[in-house]
Amino acid sequence: MSAARDIRPRQDDLGVQTQHISTSPSASFHSPSSHSSALARTIPVINAKHLKPFATTDIKVLLLENVNQAGRDMLQQQGYQVEFLKSSLPEDQLIEKIRDVHVIGIRSKTKLTERVLKEAKNLIVIGCFCIGTNQVDLQCAAAQGVAVFNSPFSNSRSVAELVIGEIIALARQLGDRSNEMHNGTWNKVSNKCWEIRGKTLGIIGYGHIGAQLSVLAEAMSMSVIYFDVLNMMSLGTAHQVESLDQLLAQADFITCHVPELPETKGMIGKAQFEKMKTGSYLINASRGTVVDIPALVEAMRSGRVAGAALDVYPNEPAGNGDYFTNDLNEWATDLRSLKNLILTPHIGGSTEEAQSAIGVEVAQALTQYVNEGTTLGAVNLPEVTLRSLTMDEPNHCRLTFLLLFLQVVYIHKNIPGVLRKVNEIIGDHNVDKQMTDSRGDVAYLMADISNVNAAVIKDLYERFESLSSRIMTRILY
């Protein structure tokens, strides 16, 4: 982050210690360190996190699931209080922890359900350090004014490369030959081992990963067809088919790259396996619910499916250790008994390159949201940004002795008449910029206000908070 975006009190470019103005009648100036408590004493009924002068050192961040070092470093460099855990947490422990934090960073395992989010009284933002956001109740988060960010494509290439490796490994039964050699058996065979050149790859879901994979597969002389609910631009000579059934009937290798949605749950089940070519292959590196595992077991036993690779499962553990127990998944023994079945522990996006890129991307989005209220890239709120002139000018500090520059972030219900009321509140002030946008039931408004006397802050905050449309008010200064 550039220094200009860091609105912490600091030895600024004017060469003086920037001071905050307190609304306390008995104390006009406080150092940044003493200010918070003075304000909290003066205005005990107001949630201090939204009202007191913004200090990154007040921000508590909880990072779960071994978020990459690059992202952790960026958040720590902001001055935030960062707690880091290697694994996910069971729901009850998560609830205990989340009550206290302003920011939570997770990957694909941590379930932020309505029950958890309702307890997250201080939470302002969630960072999914991955692509998928199905583990978060996005609507509930939005309704609470909690922004959610992810990294939409930083691990796409890693997944696509894994799938290419698996296509060759399945076609040549590499997993079985390797296991046999590990067990001391020399088993040189060519029966039902194939080149992939000239074979047809069927991609279900032609988004970031599917499209990337399409290019790599064509470079190895495969023909590519794909099925997507949207009309997608074909890359190379790939072509879109009109139905899933068409893809199932034509492809030699089928690979799933759809998000977890109600309509993708069990998308590949008994009926779909019956429509696949005999001797075809299936790969699932999307979400565990997309493929019906008992139906896959049956299709492999019958020979309809000659091989499969699974990277994702309906129930995945919180951390590393024992997994394939029948207690958790009744099909575990069946899967382990099958030949030419590659099982990996959800490593599609687990490369050094992907993880550090995700770390940086999501940490940056979180920082911009926490420090400036910018929602660019949010997956559940309208995207609003307000680059203030004040912050772009390196020699301009946000706060001078009696003239204050502040930013209002008002997250509210998307109902008629709100803007009129907002403008009644800020209309008498010097509004430099104002932006608002809505997404479904929630709207997001940002306003830069300058030349405000510090005493006005409490009044502004209380008036915003009293509006019936209010979801969350933040005043950054």
Catalytic residues: 287, 316, 346
Token look-up 């075809």 returns 280
Q: Phi and psi at residue 83, in whole multiples of 5°?
A: -110, 135
Binding of residue 271 to ligand NAD (CB under 6 A): no
DSSP string for residues in 38-56:
HHHHH-TTS-HHHHSPP-G
Binding mask 251-270 for ligand NAD (x = CB under 6 A): ------xxxxx-xx------
Q: What distance in Å separates the CA atoms of residue 38 and residue 224, rounded to the nearest whole number?
A: 65
Binding mask 332-361 for ligand 3PG (x = CB under 6 A): --------------x-xxx-----------
Total of residues contacting ligand NAD (CB under 6 A): 31
What, of ligand NAD, ligand 3PG, none, does residue 296 touch, CB below 5 to 8 Å by kind?
A: none
**C-alpha closest to that of 217 among 172, 154, 160:** 160
Report the nearest approach of ligand NAD to the CB of residue 259 (Å). 3
Binding of residue 288 to ligand 3PG (CB under 6 A): no
Q: Phi and psi at residue 65, in whole multiples of 5°?
A: 60, 35
Q: What distance in Å separates the CA atoms of residue 124 and residue 47, rounded to the nearest whole number?
A: 13
What, of ligand NAD, ligand 3PG, none, does residue 107 touch, CB below 5 to 8 Å by kind?
A: ligand 3PG
380, 148 Cβ separation under 8 angstroms: yes
Binder to ligand 3PG among 22, 56, 108, 368 (CB under 6 A)?
Answer: 108
Binding of residue 132 to ligand 3PG (CB under 6 A): yes
Binding of residue 229 to ligand NAD (CB under 6 A): yes
**C-alpha closest to that of 97 among 53, 106, 12, 421:** 106
DSSP string for residues in 176-199:
HHHHHHHTT------TT----TTP
Q: Which residue's CB atom is positioned nearest to ligand NAD?
A: 207
469, 412 Cβ separation under 8 angstroms: yes
Report the nearest approach of ligand NAD to the CB of residue 460 (Å). 39
Nearer to ligand 3PG, 108 or 272 (CB): 108
Nearer to ligand NAD, 156 or 375 (CB): 156
Binding of residue 362 to ligand 3PG (CB under 6 A): no
The residues, ordered by sequence, that sit 6+ positions from 192 with a Cβ below 8 Å of its Cβ are 173, 279, 306
Report the nearest approach of ligand NAD to the CB of residue 427 (Å). 42
Q: What distance in Å separates the CA atoms of residue 222 and residue 220, rounded to the nearest whole number?
A: 6
DSSP-derived pairing of the beta strands 239-240 and 147-149: unpaired
- HSE-CB at 215 with a 13 A cutoff on CA atoms is 11
Q: What distance in Å separates the CA atoms of residue 21 and residue 459, rounded to the nearest whole number?
A: 15
SS3 at position 252: coil
Nearer to ligand 3PG, 108 or 388 (CB): 108
Nearer to ligand 3PG, 129 or 226 (CB): 129
Binding of residue 208 to ligand 3PG (CB under 6 A): no
Binder to ligand NAD among 157, 287, 412, 474 (CB under 6 A)?
Answer: 287
* Footprint on residues 188-217 left by ligand NAD (CB under 6 A): 204-210
**C-alpha closest to that of 246 among 286, 214, 276, 278:** 276
For the stretch 179-192, what's the b/e string if a residue is b when 16 or more beta carbons lie within 10 angstroms of its beta carbon?
eeeeeeeeeeeeee
What, of ligand NAD, ligand 3PG, none, does residue 238 touch, CB below 5 to 8 Å by kind?
A: none
Report the nearest approach of ligand NAD to the CB of residue 214 (Å). 11
Binding of residue 159 to ligand NAD (CB under 6 A): yes
* Footprint on residues 152-171 left by ligand 3PG (CB under 6 A): 155
Length of the chain: 477
User: Which residues are registered as beta bridge partners of 439?
Assistant: 442
Nearer to ligand 3PG, 131 or 254 (CB): 131
> Which of 172-180, 275-283, 342-350, 386-394 is the region at the interface with ligand NAD (rule: CB under 6 A)?
342-350
Residues within the interface to ligand NAD (CB under 6 A) = 131-132, 155-156, 159, 204-210, 227-230, 257-261, 263-264, 285-287, 311-312, 346, 348-349
Residues within the interface to ligand 3PG (CB under 6 A) = 107-109, 130-132, 155, 346, 348-350
